[in-house]
Structure 1
Amino acid sequence: MPEEYRFDVFGRQMAIVRSESGWVAYLIGTEGKRRRAAFEIPDFIAADELMQYLDDLFHEDASPQRPTVERL
């Protein structure tokens, strides 16, 4: 069974799944449906580094209302 981690990335919900082929990122819509995200996560990123990686990748989306990446 694949590992799955969910995050609120500056207001966007994402699911990050570890499968046999590596990390796969999905955007989660308001209706709960997933679609494949248009970015890659390198295989060498450990599960406990995902939140920092997403923060580094999307830091320009931060706002006073949503200043951090949160694990859900």
Structure 2
Amino acid sequence: MRFNIYGRFQVDVRRDNDAWAVYRAELGKRTLCEDVVIPPDVPADELATYLDDIFHEYAGHGDIVESMPD
């Protein structure tokens, strides 16, 4: 699943075995974000809310984390 983080950058979140893996998506390449950890029990439909909690310091007034089509 791909997410637009406040229009500043994008991340791909993938299920890897029993854990979530987060990748920074930039111009045709993906880089693992080892410092972003999503607990394995977070459901897929709550990922945008969880990412909003993690990255809220990047948000401006009215900014949101948006799910993007793959």
TM-score, structure 1 length as denominator? 0.84
Work out the CA distance in 2 between the residues paired with 1:68 and 1:42. 21
Q: Which runs of 4+ in 1 moved over 3 A?
A: none
User: Does residue 65 of structure 2 align to residue 69 of structure 1?
Assistant: yes
* Secondary structure of 2:54 counterpart: helix
Q: What is the identity percentage for the equivalent residue pairs of Structure 1 and Structure 2?
A: 38
Match of 1:44 in 2: 41
Aligned Cα RMSD in Å? 1.3
* Secondary structure of 1:70 counterpart: strand
Higher relative contact order (CA 8 A, sep 6+): 2
Mapping of 1:22-37 within 5 angstroms?
Answer: 22-29=19-26, 31-37=27-33
Gaps of 5+ in 2: none
Gaps of 5+ in 1: none
TM-score, structure 2 length as denominator? 0.86
* Secondary structure of 2:38 counterpart: coil
Match of 2:9 in 1: 12
